Amino acid sequence: MTNAALAFVFPGQGSQKIGMLSEIALEAPEIPATFAEASEVLGYDLWDLCQNGEQEDINLTQRTQPLLLTSSVALYRLWRGRGGALPGRMAGHSLGEWSALVCSGVVAFKEAVHLVRERGRLMQEAVPLGSGSMAAVIGLDDEAVEVACAGSAKGEVVAAVNYNSPGQVVIAGNSAAVERAIQACRAAGAKRAMSLPVSAPFHTELMRPAAEKLAPQIEAVQFDTPEIPIVHNVHAQAESDPAAIKALMIEQIYHPVRWTACTQKIIADGTAQLIECGPGKVLAGLVRRIDRNITCHAVDNPYSFNEALRSTAA
């Protein structure tokens, strides 16, 4: 049964940690079964990696991306298998948009695992290690951050790339330009402006070569019409045409993530309750900053999963 007031959101990179989903997997065979499917594609044991590996291993973007996709899909399968309501809409933050595509029936899970591994590899290869960086800016409005970036470029690339919530923007680009923009944001009155431990300047023009290399692989995979509307990062609108969705998933690699606008769109469309379907509560925290009237649930442990089931039952 569909709950029109319910939305699912899927996290991106940064939510991974060793031991994630271990507790819920003990009572939900759907979790390790989904990881086993992904492992067949990847050629290594993804569940063992995230339970017994090292944090630096799961932080490698070509491993992080399949890991988070698989975690989100596993939890969504469990949700539906336990009688959880069908949401009225979906959105995903960066990589999380691929999780939304799988859960909405646009692309097959195993195809998505392959594509996001390639996405991660190509994004890492697009910029030499150490020559690009990202930084979080807290307490400055979007326009002031954009002005600071424009004045700091000096022939290099630096831009706002994640509009996460009012007063929280991530910038990225060439390392020297990002450092200049950090100083400019501080001078403009930012409460905090700090480098992030990220290996590449995601969602900038520097990622366009990665998008161009991934594009033929995306084009070769079948995309179907979404069963549940997905609000896309690039323009904060839903799209039903599979060809248009493919184009958006290519553009998404080098376009900003307009998360504030995506959240505002799903709320305007009638969302009252929201489930973060993946490890952690990063997106729930952002959503609360955007609109405190929205009830947010996590589902990455047995207690919160069962609580969300009860709270969203039609």
pLDDT at position 58 is 86
For 258, the 3-state DSSP assignment is coil
Tokens, residue 80: 């539906």
The residues that are catalytic are: 94, 203
Instruction: List, for residues 241-281, the tens digit of each pLDDT value.
Output: 999 999 999 999 999 999 999 999 999 999 999 999 999 89
The C-alpha atoms of residue 88 and residue 271 are separated, in whole angstroms, by 8
**Residues forming CATH 3.40.366.10 domain(s) in the chain:** 2-126+206-312
The C-alpha atoms of residue 190 and residue 194 are separated, in whole angstroms, by 10
pLDDT level of residue 314 (50, 70, 90 thresholds):
low
CA 190 to chain centre: 25
The Cβ-side half-sphere exposure at 156, using a 13 Å CA radius, reads 18
The C-alpha atoms of residue 172 and residue 182 are separated, in whole angstroms, by 10
Burial class (CB in 10 A: 0-12, 13-18, 19+), 128: exposed
Query: pTM for this one?
Result: 0.95
Instruction: List, for residues 12-68, the tens digit of each pLDDT value.
Output: 988 889 999 999 999 999 999 999 999 999 999 999 999 999 988 888 889 999 999
Range 2-126+206-312: architecture per CATH: 3-Layer(aba) Sandwich (3.40)
**Residues forming CATH 3.30.70.250 domain(s) in the chain:** 132-198
Specify the fold of 132-198. Answer: Alpha-Beta Plaits (3.30.70)
